[in-house]
């Protein structure tokens, strides 16, 4: 696939890449919740939840904890992904075990088999088939901790508390019975546990308060891995619940993981949101980064447990390859599909390759009764133009571009051809509410350009005839408030869909301001 990134101002980039002090939050923008991170030497690997997106469990790589590149997925159709039922992949954990030089990802396929582990020697290459953990006491948010001698402990949610068991991560065999670790400090949903050993202590970090505005992170320590665990004197160690963060554009901070960098510094990755208003955050839960400082056996996160968008702190030396989240100027990503469908693309439940096939002019998508014929990339920021050029070859059909939150919430912009007529249609689906605007266009039209422009609180829909046409101007067909596309665990995917017939998508382009 030909993917071109055009940078509008080369001057800005040169200035920014020379800058190894400070960074911008989020470090992975767009839907990237429940981040978990591990390190080997100066290579960092991060995994996030993906729910019913296929492929599942995106794996990112970085050299500086700030600029991340998507390199692979831990579970795909090839190693046994089954998203045919249930809610899909909740909060995974990634860990490296130096005893067998192997990476492990543990996760819950909610309603689709529950907990499993996959492993790989090379995270950018093949992952094993899942080993299933069948004990019904194991709840969501599983984590792994490798002791100095290689022994493996698994932590997860139990019955509104955090529990732990020793297991063999290659076979899933249970080596101990379950032990209770903590039920937290009284916040709802104690979850997202991770265990660390630092100096003479074991540290257990968990989230409480639910994933919404009460979300926060608490720390506990013990000199025995089975406890009892004592709470830190400065809990919550990360929280935007208090007055000091009430005007902060970042909210819902929680579900964190920690890492010691190769220079000895400590960092925390966690999820948070950037609401557009009140409780609405269409981009979903994104991945953020904060520095951690240790003092007298306890830690602080960025001084007072809050973070900002612009982080003016000393960082690891920053890599010259700057990821989209860190750019300070416009970025355009063009997918020409010359080499098929790259790993930026997802479909729901089935693979993008099931939905779309490579053809000489781009990709072809066919409507199907078995699945929603849609593929998308994550919407990475609130200010965006998403454009496609599409062609409906047969007379009848409906194909277009869509901003997709979940099955009940999506905005469609389409070319519709039926009964010898052609229309442009914009459609807002919000559960049982369906708002449609249609205009009739030249009946012979079978190639159109469609554009969705996102201006944070507002989506605007445009279309135009083929570039060769004398009538080559963008026309607006409608606007839709962005608030309806928010809620739940998900974020947004944007991309082409076909509801009826089949269409060729010649190219897609995404521009972020």
Instruction: Compute the Cα dihedral for 375, 381, 383, 384 and give only its sign.
Output: negative
Instruction: Check residue 489 for interaction with ligand 6LW (CB under 6 A).
Output: yes
Nearer to ligand 6LW, 111 or 340 (CB): 111
Which neighbouring-strand residues pair with 46?
37, 60
Could you say which of 65, 91, 206, 414 contacts ligand 6LW (CB under 6 A)? 91
Work out how close the CB of 512 gets to ligand 6LW at its nearest, in angstroms, rounded to a whole number: 24
Which one of the listed residues 34, 286, 364, 391 is annotated catalytic? 34
Work out how close the CB of 208 gets to ligand 6LW at its nearest, in angstroms, rounded to a whole number: 10
How far apart, in whole angstroms, are the C-alpha atoms of residue 463 and residue 197? 57
Q: How many CA atoms lie within 13 A of 156 on its CB side?
A: 26
Nearer to ligand 6LW, 110 or 429 (CB): 110
Pairing mode of beta strands 21-24, 266-273: unpaired
Nearer to ligand 6LW, 63 or 215 (CB): 215
How far apart, in whole angstroms, are the C-alpha atoms of residue 404 and residue 424? 19
Nearer to ligand 6LW, 162 or 485 (CB): 162
C-alpha dist (Å) from residue 218 to 48, 185, 254, 303 = 20, 8, 9, 15
Could you say which of 34, 387, 398, 427 contacts ligand 6LW (CB under 6 A)? 34
Instruction: Check residue 53 for interaction with ligand 6LW (CB under 6 A).
Output: no
Work out how close the CB of 287 gets to ligand 6LW at its nearest, in angstroms, rounded to a whole number: 12
Could you say which of 30, 33, 284, 400 contacts ligand 6LW (CB under 6 A)? 33
- x/- string (CB under 6 A) for ligand 6LW, residues 269-308? --x-------------------------------------
Size, binding site for ligand 6LW by CB under 6 A: 15
Answer yes or no: are the C-beta atoms of 141 and 192 closer than 8 Å: yes
Please report, as residue ranges, which positions from 136 to 155 form the binding site for ligand 6LW (by CB under 6 A): 140-141
How far apart, in whole angstroms, are the C-alpha atoms of residue 100 and residue 362? 43
Work out how close the CB of 187 gets to ligand 6LW at its nearest, in angstroms, rounded to a whole number: 12
How far apart, in whole angstroms, are the C-alpha atoms of residue 441 and residue 211? 46
With CA atoms as reference, report the closest residue to 342 among 46, 58, 31. 58
DSSP letters along 122-141, please?
A: STTS--PPPEEE--TT--SS
Nearer to ligand 6LW, 290 or 414 (CB): 290
Catalytic site residue 34?
A: yes
**Total residue count of the chain as it appears in this document:** 513
Work out how close the CB of 110 gets to ligand 6LW at its nearest, in angstroms, rounded to a whole number: 8
Nearer to ligand 6LW, 283 or 399 (CB): 283
Work out how close the CB of 285 gets to ligand 6LW at its nearest, in angstroms, rounded to a whole number: 7
Query: 416: Cβ–Cβ under 8 A, 6 or more apart, which residues?
Result: 397, 398, 422, 423, 424, 425, 438, 500
Coil, helix or strand for 485? helix
Work out how close the CB of 34 gets to ligand 6LW at its nearest, in angstroms, rounded to a whole number: 5
Work out how close the CB of 80 gets to ligand 6LW at its nearest, in angstroms, rounded to a whole number: 21
Instruction: Check residue 486 for interaction with ligand 6LW (CB under 6 A).
Output: no
Query: 269: Cβ–Cβ under 8 A, 6 or more apart, which residues?
Result: 27, 35, 36, 37, 46, 65, 256, 257, 258, 259, 287, 288, 289
Work out how close the CB of 404 gets to ligand 6LW at its nearest, in angstroms, rounded to a whole number: 18
Instruction: Check residue 90 for interaction with ligand 6LW (CB under 6 A).
Output: yes
C-alpha dist (Å) from residue 329 to 65, 457, 470 = 21, 21, 33
Which neighbouring-strand residues pair with 335?
3, 508
Neighbouring CB atoms inside 10 A of 80's CB total 14
How far apart, in whole angstroms, are the C-alpha atoms of residue 7 and residue 330? 6
Nearer to ligand 6LW, 191 or 387 (CB): 191
Could you say which of 29, 72, 211, 235 contacts ligand 6LW (CB under 6 A)? 211
Angle at 75 between CA 53 and CA 44, to 5 degrees: 100
Nearer to ligand 6LW, 90 or 459 (CB): 90
Work out how close the CB of 117 gets to ligand 6LW at its nearest, in angstroms, rounded to a whole number: 16
Which one of the listed residues 78, 87, 159, 191 is annotated catalytic? 191
- x/- string (CB under 6 A) for ligand 6LW, residues 159-198? --------------------------------xx------
Instruction: Check residue 344 for interaction with ligand 6LW (CB under 6 A).
Output: no
Nearer to ligand 6LW, 33 or 282 (CB): 33
Could you say which of 49, 76, 218, 346 contacts ligand 6LW (CB under 6 A)? 49
Residue whose beta carbon is closest to ligand 6LW: 211
Instruction: Compute the Cα dihedral for 171, 96, 273, 403 and give only its sign.
Output: negative
Query: 264: Cβ–Cβ under 8 A, 6 or more apart, which residues?
Result: none
Nearer to ligand 6LW, 123 or 139 (CB): 139
Catalytic residues, by residue number, are 34, 191
Site for ligand 6LW, rule CB under 6 A: 33-34, 49, 90-91, 140-141, 191-192, 207, 211, 254-255, 271, 489
């Amino acid at each position: 696939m030909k993917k071109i990134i055009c940078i509008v101002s080369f001057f800005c980039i040169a200035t920014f890449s020379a800058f190894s002090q400070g960074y911008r939050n989020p470090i992975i923008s767009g839907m990237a919740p429940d981040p978990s991170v591990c390190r080997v030497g100066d290579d960092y690997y991060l995994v996030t939840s993906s729910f019913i997106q296929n492929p599942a469990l995106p794996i990112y790589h970085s050299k500086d904890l700030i600029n991340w590149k998507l390199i692979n997925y831990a579970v795909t159709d090839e190693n046994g992904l089954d998203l045919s039922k249930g809610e899909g992949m909740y909060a995974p954990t990634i860990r490296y075990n130096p005893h067998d030089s192997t990476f492990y990802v543990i996760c819950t396929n909610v309603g689709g088999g529950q907990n499993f582990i996959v492993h790989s020697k090379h995270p950018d290459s093949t992952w094993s088939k899942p080993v299933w953990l069948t004990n019904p006491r194991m709840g969501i948010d599983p984590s792994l901790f490798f002791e100095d001698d290689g022994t493996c402990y698994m932590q997860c949610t139990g019955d509104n508390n955090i529990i732990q068991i020793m297991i063999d991560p290659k076979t899933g065999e249970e080596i101990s019975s379950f032990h209770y670790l903590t039920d937290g400090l009284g916040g709802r949903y104690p979850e997202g546990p991770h265990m660390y050993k630092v100096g003479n202590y074991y540290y257990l970090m968990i989230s409480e308060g639910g994933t919404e505005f009460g979300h926060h992170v608490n720390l506990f320590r013990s000199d025995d891995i089975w406890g009892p665990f004592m709470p830190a004197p400065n809990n919550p160690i990360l929280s935007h619940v208090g007055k000091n963060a009430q005007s902060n554009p970042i909210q819902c901070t929680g579900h964190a993981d920690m890492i010691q960098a190769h220079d000895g510094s400590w960092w925390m990755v966690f999820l948070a949101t950037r609401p557009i208003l009140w409780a609405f955050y269409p981009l979903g839960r994104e991945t953020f980064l904060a520095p951690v400082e240790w003092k007298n056996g306890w830690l602080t996160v960025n001084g007072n447990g809050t973070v900002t968008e612009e982080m003016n702190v000393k960082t690891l030396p920053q890599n010259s390859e700057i990821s989209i989240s860190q750019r300070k100027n416009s970025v355009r990503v063009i997918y020409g599909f010359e080499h098929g469908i790259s790993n930026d693309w997802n479909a729901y439940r089935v693979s993008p390759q099931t939905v779309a096939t490579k053809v000489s002019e781009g990709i072809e998508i066919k409507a199907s009764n078995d699945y929603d014929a849609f593929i998308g990339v994550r919407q990475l920021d609130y200010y965006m133009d998403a454009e496609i050029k599409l062609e409906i070859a047969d007379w009848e059909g409906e194909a277009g571009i869509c901003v997709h939150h979940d099955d009940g919430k999506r905005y469609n912009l389409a070319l519709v051809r039926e009964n010898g007529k052609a229309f442009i249609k914009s459609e807002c689906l919000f559960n049982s509410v369906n708002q449609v605007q249609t205009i009739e266009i030249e009946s012979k039209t079978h190639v159109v350009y469609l554009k969705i422009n996102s201006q944070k609180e507002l989506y605007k829909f445009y279309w135009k005839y083929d570039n060769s046409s004398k009538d080559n101007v963008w026309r607006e067909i409608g606007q839709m408030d962005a608030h309806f596309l928010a809620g739940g665990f998900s974020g947004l995917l944007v991309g082409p869909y076909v509801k009826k017939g089949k269409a060729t998508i010649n190219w897609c382009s995404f521009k972020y301001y």
